[in-house]
Amino acid sequence: MAPRAPELSVASRPRAELAVGEVRLTVERFLLTANNRTYVTLGDSAGYWTPFPAPEGYGRVPAWGFAVVSESAHPDIAVGSRYFGLLPMSTDLVVSPEVVPGGFRDASPHRDRLDEYYRQYRSADTNGGEGGEPNVEASLRVLAWTVYPSSLVLAHELRTFGAAAVVLSSASSKTALGIAERLRRFGIRTHGMTSLANVDFVRGFGVYDSVSTYDDPAGVGDPDGPVDTVFVDITRNVDVIAAVHHRLGGRLLRSVLFGGTHGGGSAAPGTLPGPTPEPLFVPERRAVLRQRIGEEAYTRELAEGQELFLALAARSMRVDDRVGPDAARDALSEVLAGPQAPDVVTVVRPQPS
């Protein structure tokens, strides 16, 4: 039996007074992608409802975006300051900031057990959010700031594996595009797998060395070649994983599971040729990367990469701008229904500017 689709609703509640040390963030805009489908699908089992408490039986869906401080009872957080981080699909959010270099972490008790990645808010005062940018550019910046951190971490991780080539499924996904862009600059060959409908977009984005469709497993490479390829599955589709392993099993160094654009499930095939598919937890590897290359190098590389990715997105993608709570609900419903057009960037502004 298929799982019951979640019931989406718009609700309101009175604003609570701020306690000493708290800050109210007004949400400016956030991105909706397949990640949000994963948050909803795995909300209970993976703890995605934890960051933003809701009444019993409900969940506030997390999304990545920009917010501005509209009210502050914290001595070091000024009204008007902008930040980027994990936000609820809501008009506002109360946090308990603990100031750290480059921003703050939310020290609210209900977020204590979350990984730092989901608690940190990065200062965006000089670059991002509204900040005087045209609406389209500001919305594309939400995409770059949301997607590229994971892409950067994954690309570095693949590099440490010693891969000469990387095969990525769901090649049209924003994260996969970011990974391929970074791997290209590392000098690592990339091959993208996608649906027939998305082939032209994926090739046109210009970050893959080669592209094939899911129904052409021979396109992923020569099974008799050297053992130098890493497979990154972003679909979590057992048929896709099996097809790649049966084609390249003997030359796969590693097989990595990340994301779930074809449904967000956690299953993997049983016995397969080649290495056992292994999940990769980005926040954990992000901490390792920052320690390995240093905070300054990480911050510089991230900022440069985000700007490059923003430029690529501006050339190849279009913004679907939704405004208001009802529009947010409708946009999420569409994301939950299945894959969206790869060239569309869905950004929600929960209230008019």
**What DSSP letter does each residue of 60-92 carry, written as one string?**
PPEEEEEEEEEEE-STT--TT-EEEEEEESSSE
Q: Please indicate, yes or no, whether residues 113 and 219 belong to a single structural domain of this protein.
A: no
Instruction: Please list the ranges in the chain whose pLDDT falls under 70.
Output: 1-5, 126-134, 259-270
Q: Please indicate, yes or no, whether residues 157 and 207 belong to a single structural domain of this protein.
A: yes
* pLDDT at res. 6: 76
H/E run at residue 166: strand 165-168
Residue 4 lies in a domain: no
Q: Please indicate, yes or no, whether residues 199 and 277 belong to a single structural domain of this protein.
A: yes
Distance CA 83, CA 85 (A): 7
Q: What is the CATH number of the domain that holds 223?
A: 3.40.50.720
* pLDDT at res. 129: 46
* pLDDT at res. 264: 44
Q: Which domain holds residue 332?
A: 23-132+318-349
Distance CA 122, CA 104 (A): 7
Q: Please indicate, yes or no, whether residues 118 and 161 belong to a single structural domain of this protein.
A: no
CA atoms within 13 A on the CB side of 58: 11
Q: Please indicate, yes or no, whether residues 279 and 323 belong to a single structural domain of this protein.
A: no
Q: Please indicate, yes or no, whether residues 279 and 331 belong to a single structural domain of this protein.
A: no
Residue 105 lies in a domain: yes
Beta carbons within 8 Å of 81's beta carbon, 6+ residues apart: 68, 69, 123, 125
Q: What is the CATH number of the domain that holds 326?
A: 3.90.180
Joined together, the tokens standing for residue 78 give 């000024």
Residue 259 lies in a domain: yes
Residue 252 lies in a domain: yes
Q: Which of 238, 264, 286 is the last residue of a domain?
A: 286
Q: Please indicate, yes or no, whether residues 164 and 124 belong to a single structural domain of this protein.
A: no
Residue 302 lies in a domain: no
Residue 30 lies in a domain: yes
Number of domains in the chain: 2
Phi, psi of 345 (to 5 degrees): -110, 110
Distance CA 68, CA 81 (A): 6
Residue 322 lies in a domain: yes
Q: Which of 264, 286, 308 is the last residue of a domain?
A: 286
